Amino acid sequence: MITIILSPLSLILSLFLSTIIFLLFRTTTAARRNLRPPPGTTGFPLIGETFQLISAYKTENPEPFIDTRVARYGTVFTTHVFGERTVFSADAKTNRFILQNEGRLFESSYPSSIANLVGKHSLLLMRGSLHRRMHSLTMSFANSTIIKDHLLVDIDRLVRLNLDSWTGRILLMEEAKKITFELTLKQILSIDPCEWSENLRKEYMLVIEGFFCIPIPFFSLTYRRAIQARKRVTEALHLVVCERRVEREKGLKKNDMLAALFDSDCDDDEIVDLLVSLLVAGYDTTSTTMTLAVKFLTDTPSALAQLKEEHEEIRKKKGASVTLEWDDYKSMPFTQCVVNETLRLSNIISGVFRRAMSDVKIKDFTILKGSKVFASLRAVHLGQDNFADARVFDPWRWQKISDPSNFMPFGGGPRRCPGHELARVALSVFLHHLITCFSWIPAEEDKLVFFPTTRTQKRYPIIVQKRDVVE
């Protein structure tokens, strides 16, 4: 019993001491070499400023955490969050530089708790030439041509199928998640919604929860549950991969991501990890953006009215056909403004973590080799110097913006989101069918929070009513 109590205590003590020794060593080495790291404060030993960050992000307005530090130290500053001293960038140019120098000066860096959940062969963890090859293979299954020729018809059909069952009070976030999961499964495995896919989704939700809990394997029930669910997901996907290999040997070839992976040199373990990471990356992000677009529109009736006009116009032109085609998608300029503005304001991926591979000079400072770096997309998107009235939902701003270089919701450089076009198309198709088929009102007050992820507290309950067909 005593040893059980003593071990965590001695672990904490030795962690504390080693952190102090490491920091002292780094500070003196930096001082000796006359290097100036970005200014800032690192808060308390071990926990740093983590609690300040978490409590800010649990509110509707987390910006003061960044604003006060930017005002005090500038747009690139040092803090200490989630157990590590971290250089925080709220500067658009610096963020671009960090992202574009992936693999040269910086490399992506995830804690082992996340690596265990996505799998060691995930795209998120790959590096070097293997990463470049698999990133471009993923892109080749989510680019405009493949969406136009192949995926759009499924996106349109699956969105309509889901919306057809809506009546009365729904939790929009849950419905959107169901839609995006089904879309991704179709895209990567050619599987249509069924009991198997719904069961897989439930397991997936447990895996996703594991990303956002405090990952102490033996103490966190959520994390343990996530690891077990990950095992079941892996087993289920392995079975699908095996069956498809057999079909393929018989000459049956499907046009999906799995077929493309069979054509590469990957073995089954690598394929399954890649599939898991694709489902992780596309599921929560797109569904949360769908939900928040509807929330922002509901709160901004003039934008909703203009969007309605755009979609009713498309509907009228199409006559009896309800299926959206590529040309319809391309004639939604205001919808693209709404999508951009939702991505800018909601920042589903608020920023990306990297690690410096060597000492890197940025502005008048040096980011020391080995330092953790957080390129905050959110801080740039909500920075008043980058966007006028940056914290207001104003889709019309996109009719005037000619240089969108401060806007990076999908990241940048070699790790730029390969699903960016797919997400845009899914969002536009979803908005089209929602707006032309339904009217809605919020069922209760709900508010946005940003920790552990960006979401609305109550999963955005709304009451929907089917509209008469647009004449």
Nearest residue to ligand HEM, using CB?
Answer: 419
Q: Is the dihedral of CA 154, 160, 163, 165 positive or negative?
A: negative
How many distinct helices (H) and strands (E) make up the chain?
18, 12
In the complex with ligand HEM, the residue whose CB is nearer, 79 or 347, is 347
Distance between CA 417 and CA 144 in Å, rounded? 14
User: Tokens 């289920």 identify what position?
Assistant: 236
Among 352, 434, 437, 448, binds ligand HEM (CB under 6 A): 352
123 lies in the site for ligand HEM, by CB under 6 A: yes
Binders in 219-278 for ligand HEM, by CB under 6 A: 277-278
> How far from 392 is each of 39, 148, 199, CA to CA, in Å?
30, 33, 39
Among 135, 363, 459, 467, binds ligand HEM (CB under 6 A): 135
Q: Are 422 and 187 in contact (CB under 8 A)?
A: yes
417 lies in the site for ligand HEM, by CB under 6 A: yes
CB of 409 to ligand HEM, least distance (A): 5
CA-derived radius of gyration, the chain: 23
417 is in an annotated binding site: yes
Among 329, 407, 410, 430, binds ligand HEM (CB under 6 A): 410
Among 176, 348, 425, 431, binds ligand HEM (CB under 6 A): 348
CB of 410 to ligand HEM, least distance (A): 5
142 lies in the site for ligand HEM, by CB under 6 A: yes
Q: Is the dihedral of CA 375, 376, 381, 386 positive or negative?
A: negative
409 lies in the site for ligand HEM, by CB under 6 A: yes
423 lies in the site for ligand HEM, by CB under 6 A: yes
List Cβ<8 Å contacts ≥24 apart for 344-347: 344/381, 344/387, 344/407, 344/409, 345/292, 345/296, 345/381, 345/382, 345/391, 345/393, 346/288, 346/289, 346/292, 346/296, 346/448, 346/454, 347/377, 347/378, 347/381, 347/382, 347/409, 347/454
Among 335, 418, 433, 464, binds ligand HEM (CB under 6 A): 418
Annotated binding site for heme: 417
Annotated binding site: 417
Residues that bind ligand HEM (CB under 6 A): 108, 123-124, 135, 138, 142, 277-278, 281-282, 285-286, 289, 348-349, 352, 409-411, 415, 417-419, 422-423
